[in-house]
A = this chain, B = another copy of it.
Amino acid sequence: MRQLEEKILAEGTVLPGDILKVGSFLNQRIDTRLLKAMGVEIARLYEGCGVTKIMTIEASGIAIACAAGMEMGVPVLFAKKHRTSNVDGSVYQTIVHSFTHNEDYNVVISRDYLDASDHVLLVDDFLARGQALEGMIELVHLAGAQLTGVAIAIEKCFNGAGDALRRKGVRIESLAMIESMTDGEIVFRS
């Protein structure tokens, strides 16, 4: 998506440790015109695919998931992060490892909001090592629902998780795909 790529080149900052800082338009401060355009693009990509629900993990994916959900006219589910495990059986839950914070956390979603009749589109702001995405895929499977596909704002292709999931047959649409950002130079996949 050209508009997002141009914004990344104009305002993104590459920090040590392969961190791409996009606080001026994607988190901390959201450019709502770009956000709406991303929602429209995700809706276009998955038009006619029978999506019944969008799922994201709080908090950074909420804005994009809601923008897409409003365009597509489908509900958005927030999987929630918990430090403690829920054992009362009212939720689907799995464990996700965060490389950013170097800790494991439980990701849960209420059984009330997801079931085997659902066709789910997973949405998130970043795809790098794929831990959060794999956690959401596990929740979809636990519910017996169908995974229609994935929509990501920015994929760090060099981490490999996106391509590994594609090889397993998962449809992943990333609005900006960064092939490399060595020495601060951002190169998109063509």
Contact = CB atoms under 8 A, between A and B. Distances in A.
Given A28-B78, A32-B69, 18 more contacts: A23-B112, A27-B78, A28-B109, A28-B113, A29-B78, A29-B112, A30-B69, A30-B75, A30-B76, A30-B78, A31-B75, A32-B76, A35-B66, A59-B59, A62-B63, A63-B66, A66-B67, A67-B70
22 contacts: A28-B110, A29-B77, A29-B78, A29-B110, A29-B112, A30-B69, A30-B75, A30-B76, A30-B78, A32-B66, A32-B73, A32-B74, A33-B70, A35-B66, A59-B78, A62-B62, A62-B63, A62-B66, A63-B66, A63-B76, A66-B66, A66-B67
Contacts of A113: 23-24, 28-29
B28 A77 contact: yes
Contacts of A31: 75
Q: Which of A24, A36, A62 has the most CB of B within 10 A?
A: A62
A67 B73 CA distance: 13
Interface residues of A, number: 31
A10 B29 CA distance: 35
**Copies of this polypeptide in the complex:** 2
A171 interface: no
A107 B12 CA distance: 24
Contacts of A74: 32
A7 interface: no
Contact of A59 (B35, B58, B73, B110): B58
Interface in A94-125: 109-110, 112-113
A121 to B, nearest CB: 12
Contacts of A70: 32-33, 35-36, 67, 70
B110 A66 contact: no
